[in-house]
Structure 1
Amino acid sequence: MTRRRALVACAYAVAWLAFAVPIALVLFFTSSATTTVASHDSVVRPTTDHYATLHTGPFLPDVRAPVSGPVGVDITLGKTETTSAEGLVERYAFIASQPDAQVERVERLVRRMAYDAALRGAVLGAVPILVWVAVGKRRRRELVGRLDPRHPTGVLLGVGLALVLAAVLVSQPWESRDPMLADTTDWQSLPDYVPEVTVPREAQQVQVSVNSTTYETKRLVLSAIDTFRRSKQFYAAAALATENLDLRQPAEGETVALMVSDRHDNIGMDPVARAIADKAGATAILNAGDDTSTGQAWEAFSLDSLDKAFRDYDQRFSVLGNHDHGSFVEAYLEDLGWTVGTGEVVEGPGGGRLLAFNDPRSSGLGNWRDEPGLSIDELASKIADVACESDVRVNTLLVHDSDMATEALRRGCVDIALSGHVHVQVGPNPVRGLDARRGYTYTNGTTGGAAYALAVGSKLRRPAEVTLVTYRDGRPVGLQPVTLQTNGVFEVGDWLPLHFD
């Protein structure tokens, strides 16, 4: 009896797999999901052609590249924000030069789609098995008897099944109903498409859809290749050059945090910043804001890149800058596991106390000091109230604009206020508080090498800076700025000790 039950159970399992697997595969390969790719709202669909295909729209040619896994992907780009076609193509090339974060985003989405399809397939595959069991042996025999073609019920069932099958075959619901005005199956390798230039090795497997492309479109592609090559070479060389930097190493009992600010979408600097951090033995990151230029969802690629570079850090602190205004950046970073401007004292690098406040102001690409509803003095007073009410002295106050920290320093409630915003290094400057206790204010230059709020391009628009902050027993004891010049040469500043009474 036990063996019989085991055989029955195996039969049910095989039958369930026979239903579940095909259903899951159909659901998976007919599914789609929306996300943000390459600064566009995009629709992602899994395919069986072993290519990652990017549909860029009616003006630019589609592109594709082979993938190593069993599943390909089809990405249709939707709306984005741009001021010109040239600027958009330059952005594509810049993102393509640091593609890992975008590739991971799509891979995670496809894996989630596969998981969802497998779960639904498992549930739907169990339905006929459960119905079979629920009907029971006796009732099944009665129903089989009624399937006799000579029985009226059997005739009706046969005709009904035939009509359903015919309807499915005619309608073909698995086929796309999208009207196609052009067949985009004519693909050409990128080196063949633009023989005028030497295509970088990383892009030689890329293929381009060549139907109806214009001379002007081809010029944009040539421009993108040039941007890709120069950006790849510049930032790769900079990351490699960090091996030769003479950076102070942490002594026993010390902790080093890397400070960045005002990246403004320059994802090329992220692997460079991480290489500097590794060389200096950093284990935490302090981000003083303005990771984006507008704070909109199309700039998710910048946040993905920052997160990928420092994902393995346990301590990742960030504040919003005036250009990060809105709900998107904060929610996105928090979903990625960052601690973002909580307005509460938390444990910081080296076990010290850290307080971080977001900049509530909004800015476009030009106006940096729009202050709706809350003046900078009122905000500074609010921050000082929180810092001074803490039972333990705040070791690090992380803000975007140094003006937000003036009152807390004046009252003598913090060791150091770290900020960005003005795109140039200021300090460290000592501040003597009302209680005669010393604090410091320090402003990091733009890590993205940004001019105003723009940093995307094949090279730096201005020098890019990060700062290494050394902590001992939770208190900041020294700063070391590191600057990458526009010509690719590093300037390592002296380690600047901080002295407290």
Structure 2
Amino acid sequence: MARGRLIRGTLLVLVWLVVTVATGLLFFLGSSRTVVLASHEAELRPTLDGYVVLHTGPVLPDFRLSSGSEVGADVTLGKTEVSSVDELVERYAFIASQPEGQVVKIRDSIRSMALAAFVKGALVGLAPIALWWLLGPTRRRELGHLAVSRRGFVAVVAGSVLLILVINPGESGEPTPGDEGWQSLADFLGPGVPTPDAAAGIEVSTGATVSGTHRLIESAVDTFEKSKVFYADVAERAADLELHQPEPGDTVVTLVSDRHDNIGMDAVARAIGDAGGATAVFDAGDDTSVGESWEAFSLDSVNAAFSDLPRWGVAGNHDQGDFVADYLAGEGWTMLDGQVVWGPGDVTLLGVADPRSSGLGSWKDEEGLSFEEVGSRLADAACDSPRRVTTLLVHDANLGAETLARGCADLVVGGHLHLRLGPTPVEGANGALGYSYTTGTTGGAAYAIAVGSKPRRDAMVTLLTYRDGRPVGVQPVVVKTNGDLDPLRYEPLAPTDPALPTPLPATPTPTP
């Protein structure tokens, strides 16, 4: 009797596994998801052909690259914002030269779709087991006799087909662009155009394309090669920089600001942070140019570069609307909203999005506040905090001017100006000494966008050092437009509490 139960139980588990795998696979291959990819709204579908296929639209050919496994992806690009085809192609090349953020997004999306599909499959797999118990032994014997008859066999086959159609209705049958065949990128461009080693595995569809496609692709290949070589070289040399090293118990934070879509600098910023012993990240905003969803590639990149570290940030004036802040918050960033929170190394943090951002700058539920009013509210929050605020993280350091004037924070850090100011000591009305510091543009942005094969102006990453929860030093690192690295001298800080005597202020660094 016990042996019979064991056999039946084993058979039921096997049935569950078979049904789960079969239906889960059908659910998986029939699923799709809309994501923001390579600056487009894109439809992502999993495949089992081992390739990631990119359908770009009617102007450019389709591309594919081996995924390195049996699972692949079919990506159809949708709408985006761009002023010309040339600009779009250059953007593609720049994103492709720093693909980490997009690769992570595709991989995570496929894994999420697979998990959801097989959870559904597991639930479907329980159906025959539940039916088995509900029918009982007598009814099961009757149905068994019926199943071996001709009529029963036809019914089982028809029911199985109907179930498959319900679970996976299939595609429309329309041909997919690029089905005509594939050729290597080198063959597509011809012998006169060198193909970068990193692009050797890319294949191009042999379908018809409009006149001028070769010129566009050649331009993209040139941008791809220059971007990848430039930033990879800078990141490699940044890893060997001789920077100020933290003492035992110190905490170092990488400060970035005004990236403006320059994803090439993310690996460089990470390398600089690692060289200086950084274990956390502050982002002072303006990660995008206009704050639109097509710029998610920039957010994916900075997130991928620092995904293993604790991260805090605020939105800048160009991160318009709530997309940027919500997106980063969804990726694990702590986006400051006017509340004092704990930061790395017992640091207390306060910050808020720039009031000049469209849709941002409200204080709690109150909207329409001016820059000065938000600065005053920040000062109130800092001065009312039961624990002294270590760092005020804002996009524009001027937003923290009143907080420093009242003596309610040790350090105010921001960006916005695309150049370095400070650290400048400020003695508050209560006798406490604090500092204001503005870091340069991490993206090397001259204006509101920094996409290109190299920075458009000198870029900057700053390292902040904390000891016992208080700021004790600042060290900027400059990345010049020719790729040279210039670590500036470490500036010690000595903030004081209101109850302590104020020491002589440190000599501020001359403004460049």
d(CA) in 1 for partners of 2:244, 2:403: 30
CA, structure 1 residues 335+205, in 2 after alignment: closer, same or farther (shift >3 Å)? same
Are 2:121 and 1:126 equivalent residues in the alignment? no
SS of 2:35 mapped into structure 1: strand
In the superposition, the TM-score normalised over structure 1's length comes to 0.92
Are 2:27 and 1:27 equivalent residues in the alignment? yes
Following superposition of structure 1 onto structure 2, how do residues 132-281 of structure 1 map, counting pairs within 5 Å? 132-144=132-144, 174-180=169-175, 184-195=179-190, 196-281=192-277
Which string of whole-angstrom CA distances, capped at 9 and with x for unpartnered residues, describes residues 106-131 of structure 1? 11111111111111112112212321
CA, structure 1 residues 288+173, in 2 after alignment: closer, same or farther (shift >3 Å)? closer
Are 2:305 and 1:300 equivalent residues in the alignment? no
Residue identity opposite 2:449 in structure 1:
L
Which string of whole-angstrom CA distances, capped at 9 and with x for unpartnered residues, describes residues 272-325 of structure 1? 0111111111112111111111112221221111111112213x1111101112
Provide structure 2 residue ranges, at least 5 long, that are not aligned to the other structure: 360-366, 496-501, 503-512
Alignment correspondent of 1:367: none
d(CA) in 2 for partners of 1:58, 1:319: 39
Q: CA RMSD in A?
A: 2.4
d(CA) in 2 for partners of 1:484, 1:116: 44
d(CA) in 2 for partners of 1:432, 1:134: 79
Q: How many residues align?
A: 488
In the superposition, the TM-score normalised over structure 2's length comes to 0.90
CA, structure 1 residues 361+145, in 2 after alignment: closer, same or farther (shift >3 Å)? same
CA, structure 1 residues 62+350, in 2 after alignment: closer, same or farther (shift >3 Å)? same
Report the CA distance between 1:173 and its aligned residue: 6.2
SS of 2:36 mapped into structure 1: strand
CA, structure 1 residues 116+192, in 2 after alignment: closer, same or farther (shift >3 Å)? same
Residue identity opposite 2:422 in structure 1:
G
CA, structure 1 residues 111+173, in 2 after alignment: closer, same or farther (shift >3 Å)? closer
Deviates more, 1:291-300 or 1:53-62: 291-300
| 8 Å contact kept, 1:325–1:360 | no
d(CA) in 2 for partners of 1:162, 1:249: 71
Report the CA distance between 1:137 and its aligned residue: 2.0
Deviates more, 1:212-221 or 1:158-167: 158-167
CA, structure 1 residues 5+487, in 2 after alignment: closer, same or farther (shift >3 Å)? same
Residue identity opposite 2:441 in structure 1:
T
Alignment correspondent of 2:319: 324
| 8 Å contact kept, 2:26–2:168 | no
d(CA) in 1 for partners of 2:166, 2:16: 27
Residue identity opposite 2:279 in structure 1:
T
Residue identity opposite 2:107 in structure 1:
E
Report the CA distance between 1:25 and its aligned residue: 1.4
| 8 Å contact kept, 2:478–2:486 | yes
Following superposition of structure 1 onto structure 2, how do residues 415-426 of structure 1 map, counting pairs within 5 Å? 415-426=410-421
Deviates more, 1:181-190 or 1:127-136: 181-190
Alignment correspondent of 2:399: 404
d(CA) in 1 for partners of 2:167, 2:431: 80
d(CA) in 2 for partners of 1:321, 1:190: 40
CA, structure 1 residues 244+71, in 2 after alignment: closer, same or farther (shift >3 Å)? closer
* Aligned counterpart for 2:452 among listed residues 449, 457, 478: 457
Alignment correspondent of 1:356: 351
CA, structure 1 residues 247+333, in 2 after alignment: closer, same or farther (shift >3 Å)? same
Report the CA distance between 1:145 and its aligned residue: 5.3
* Aligned counterpart for 1:395 among listed residues 367, 390, 395: 390
d(CA) in 2 for partners of 1:204, 1:337: 35
CA, structure 1 residues 390+173, in 2 after alignment: closer, same or farther (shift >3 Å)? closer
Alignment correspondent of 1:482: 477
Alignment correspondent of 2:40: 40
d(CA) in 2 for partners of 1:475, 1:363: 33
Alignment correspondent of 1:368: none
Report the CA distance between 1:166 and its aligned residue: 8.2
Identity among equivalent positions (%) equals 49
Report the CA distance between 1:476 and its aligned residue: 1.2
| 8 Å contact kept, 1:376–1:403 | no
Report the CA distance between 1:66 and its aligned residue: 1.0
SS of 1:45 mapped into structure 2: strand
d(CA) in 2 for partners of 1:312, 1:499: 30
d(CA) in 1 for partners of 2:210, 2:217: 11
| 8 Å contact kept, 2:444–2:457 | yes
CA, structure 1 residues 492+158, in 2 after alignment: closer, same or farther (shift >3 Å)? closer
Residue identity opposite 1:53 in structure 2:
V
Provide structure 1 residue ranges, at least 5 long, that are not aligned to the other structure: 365-371
Residue identity opposite 2:198 in structure 1:
E
Residue identity opposite 2:189 in structure 1:
V
Alignment correspondent of 2:72: 72
Alignment correspondent of 1:497: 492
Are 2:341 and 1:346 equivalent residues in the alignment? yes
d(CA) in 2 for partners of 1:162, 1:393: 73
Which string of whole-angstrom CA distances, capped at 9 and with x for unpartnered residues, describes residues 68-91 of structure 1? 112111111111111111111111
| 8 Å contact kept, 1:285–1:317 | yes
SS of 2:288 mapped into structure 1: coil
Are 2:101 and 1:101 equivalent residues in the alignment? yes
